Amino acid sequence: MEEGNVMVENEIKKDVWGAINTLRFNTKIAENAERADRMFFERLQEGLKSGDVDKIYEFIEACERGRGVNSDPFVRKLFQKAYDEDAKRLCRILAERDSIIDYWGNLSSNCETYMIVAFTKMDVEYPCFYYECARILLKRLQEDLLCQEGIIAAVKKLSNIDLKLWKRWIQKNESNSCWQKLLFTVLSQVDKNALEIFAQTIHLDMPIQDYKPDILLTEFERLPDSSKNYILVHVSGIIIDRWNDLIEKKKKAFVTMNKPLFTGYINLILNSLQELLQDKEKWKTAFWKQAEILEEDMYRWYASEINIESIFFYDVTQLYYILIVGQECQLIEIDEVISNCMQKVKMVIEWYDYFWRECEGQKADLEKRLRDNSILK
């Protein structure tokens, strides 16, 4: 047994709190460390000096990809004894270190999952502490479902006291399937400001993960209607404005597209569109305007067929979404104007039939929706 371990064991037998207060998590680098290790260590020093959270986490994540943090069984015993004696006191002592590196070292190597979950339900004034609790629990989630309630509690508190860190959390975990399962539960519990930050931050064109179930769709539909409505009231306007801007930017840049753009957030986009098009006249105006855009765009000159194909599918995407919302919400009142509009869209789709080589199923579905809402079947 090493001398340090003997000291810790003796401290456990005497004053657990005195021992806890003497412990500090130190980061060192070997003299013969590789260039990459030296670079990450330098980033850590820069981050600690400037308070740059991103640089600090570059170092932490590099360590986790490597050997991680060494765990000392005697220190774990010390933390366990302190937790058993006074969990709130231990939480406060750890949080007041006000150091991401200390949080990482102590929480990841010295605390059992149930201890961290308990910490997330306690009140401290250090948002980075909650951030690191949530981050560690998310990494452990597949091994312990108890992590879910801790992640929800920690991220909710984080959103209440530090919107900048809340935004970082969204950015870093947006495509994490474990986080996606909890996302809408969290959103249903955070305040208006946090919801707006979420809507302003997410990548609305996030790809759908192939061969995986649509987690975001499933989890949103699990929510009670009151929770869905609470979220949508605060995010719908931002989501649709950003979605329309995104489509326009892609069109102007001629970003290649060879099928309708269905993204990981399609359900959120459709529900937001539904929130904004709540009556038949609003729906009719939206569909008519988008049909006009499609027709006008198809009469423009383009430098290549790839460009016109891309424009075609961006316009069709917008029409497709509006049509889905209209049918599902029974907003479509078939009159001569709408029927003629449907016929025009159907005709444009037929002109460019060969564009649909990668998505014939979507073409068939769209054409059926158009036929079903036309006087001339």
* For the chain, percent of residues with pLDDT exceeding 90: 72
Give the per-residue pLDDT at 301. 95
Answer yes or no: is 256 within a domain: no
pLDDT given for residue 15 in this prediction: 84
Instruction: Compute the average pLDDT of residues 65-77.
Output: 81
DSSP secondary structure of 219-237: HHHHS-HHHHHHHHHHHHH
State the average pLDDT for the chain: 90
List Cα–Cα distances, 70 to 7, 59, 108, in angstroms.
18, 16, 10
Burial class (CB in 10 A: 0-12, 13-18, 19+), 167: middle
Mean pLDDT of 297-307: 95
pLDDT at 340: 87
- Domain span holding position 13: 3-173
What would the pLDDT profile of 223-270 be if each residue is shown by its tens digit?
A: 999 999 999 999 999 999 999 999 999 999 999 999 999 999 999 999
Q: Is residue 60 part of a domain?
A: yes
What is the pLDDT averaged over residues 301-316?
A: 97
- H-only helix segments in the chain: 3-13, 16-22, 35-50, 53-65, 73-85, 87-95, 100-110, 113-120, 127-140, 147-161, 163-173, 177-187, 192-201, 215-222, 225-253, 266-276, 280-298, 305-328, 336-351, 360-372
26-30, 49-53, 344-348: least confident range: 26-30
- CB-based contacts of 351: which residues, under 8 Å, 6+ apart? 298
pLDDT digits (tens, 9 = 90+) for 21-49: 888 777 777 666 677 777 887 888 888 88
| Structural domains of the chain, count | 1
347 — pLDDT class (breaks 50, 70, 90): very high
Domain assignment present for 371: no
Give the up-direction half-sphere exposure of residue 191: CA atoms within 13 A in the CB hemisphere: 9
Alpha helical stretches, state H, 14-72: 16-22, 35-50, 53-65
Mean pLDDT score, 263-287: 95
pLDDT at 138: 96
pLDDT of 374 over the 70 cut: no
Category of 19 on φ-ψ map: left (φ > 0), alpha (ψ -120 to 50) or beta: alpha
CB atoms within 10 A of CB 306: 13
Percent of the chain with pLDDT over 70: 92
Exposure string for 146-164, b = 16+ CB within 10 A, e = fewer = ebbebbbbbbbbbbbebbe
Domain membership of residue 96 (yes or no) is yes
Q: Is residue 339 part of a domain?
A: no
Q: Give residue-wise pLDDT tens across range 86-128.
A: 999 999 999 999 999 999 999 999 999 999 999 999 999 999 9
- Is residue 169 in a domain? yes
At 32 the pLDDT is: 65
Identify whether 25 is part of a domain: yes
Cα 64 to Cα 59, 60, 61, distances in angstroms: 9, 6, 5
169 falls in which pLDDT band (50, 70, 90)?
very high
Is 236 a member of any domain? no
Stretch 135-159: mean pLDDT: 92
pLDDT of res. 171:
97
The pTM (predicted TM-score) of the whole model is 0.90
The answer to whether residues 292 and 285 touch, using CB atoms and an 8 Å cutoff, is: no
Return the pLDDT at 141: 86
